[in-house]
Amino acid sequence: MDYMEHQYTMKMKNSGWKKVKLGDVINFNPAEKLKQGLYAKKVSMDKLNPFTRSINEYELALFTGGTKFRNGDTLLARITPCLENGKTAYVSILDEEEVGFGSTEFIVLREKKGFSDKMFIYYLAISPFFREVAIKSMIGTTGRQRVQNDVLQNLEISLPPLETQLKIASILSALDDKIELNQQINDNLAN
C-alpha cells in the first residue's frame, strides 16, 4: 500500500465510512405480496422519464404478475437501452402500505434499516459510478441485454454513515425539487 492509499484508508476509518458490498446494505428485489386479480397502480417502463426522480404517470391495472414495490423504493431499469437512457425513479406515488407493480425489467432497490437511506439509494443508483458498473455487467443478445443482479449486489463501495447519507440525500433532493419547480414554471409559461 502506497502513502496515498494509506492516507485515504485512514481518512475513511476516521470519518466512519465503511467498505461494504451493496447486497449487505440494500435489499435487492424485496419480496412483496399482491394478490393476482386485484387492481393496483402499475408503472410500465414507458412511464419513467430519463434522469427524472419522480414517477409522473401510472395506470390502475389488474395484477397478473410483475415486479412489486412500495413507496421509498428505487426502480432501476435492468434492460438495454432503458438503463443507458437513465430510466431510474424513486417511488412516491403509493398510499401508505400500498404495493404497486410494474415491468419485470425493473430491479427494485430498498433500504436496509440502520444501514442505508432510501433517498441516498436513489442518488447512488443514478450516479455515473453505479451506472457504469451496471451497464458493463449486462449480458444477453444484442438489444436484449440485462444487468446481472449479482454483480450489483457484490459491488463494493465506501458507504458513509447513515447520518451522512441523510445529509447528502437531503442536499441532492433539494436541488431536484428546484429543478422540478423550474420545469413546472417553464411548462406553465409555454401553455
What CATH number is given to the structural domain containing 125? 3.90.220.20
Nearest to 91 by CA among 124, 43, 46, 127: 43
Instruction: Determine the pLDDT at residue 16.
Output: 87
pLDDT at 15: 77
* pLDDT at site 7: 46
Residue 52 forms part of a structural domain? yes
Number of domains observed in the structure of the chain: 1
Sequence-distant (6+) residues with CB within 8 A of 20 are: 156, 157, 159
Q: Which of 78-82, 144-148, 182-186 has the lowest mean pLDDT?
A: 182-186
Q: Are residues 26 and 112 in contact, defined by beta-carbon separation less than 8 angstroms?
A: yes
Q: At residue 3, does pLDDT exceed 50?
A: no
- CA nearest 149: which of 30, 62, 54? 30
Q: Is residue 142 part of a domain?
A: yes
Q: Within a domain: residue 150?
A: yes
Is residue 9 in a domain? no
Residue 7 lies in a domain: no
Q: Is the dihedral of CA 57, 63, 39, 112 positive or negative?
A: negative
What's the whole-number average pLDDT of the chain?
A: 90
Is 37 a domain residue?
yes
Pairing relationship of beta strands 26-28 and 67-69 according to DSSP bridges: unpaired
Amino acid 11: pLDDT: 56
pLDDT digits (tens, 9 = 90+) for 143-177: 789 999 999 999 999 999 999 999 999 999 999 99
The pLDDT tens digits of the residues spanning 90-145 come to: 999 999 999 999 999 999 999 999 999 999 999 999 999 999 999 999 998 877 89
Q: Could you tell me the residue range of the domain that residue 24 belongs to?
A: 15-190
5 within a domain of the structure (yes/no): no
Q: Is residue 123 part of a domain?
A: yes
Question: Which of the two residues, 33 and 4, has the higher pLDDT score?
Answer: 33
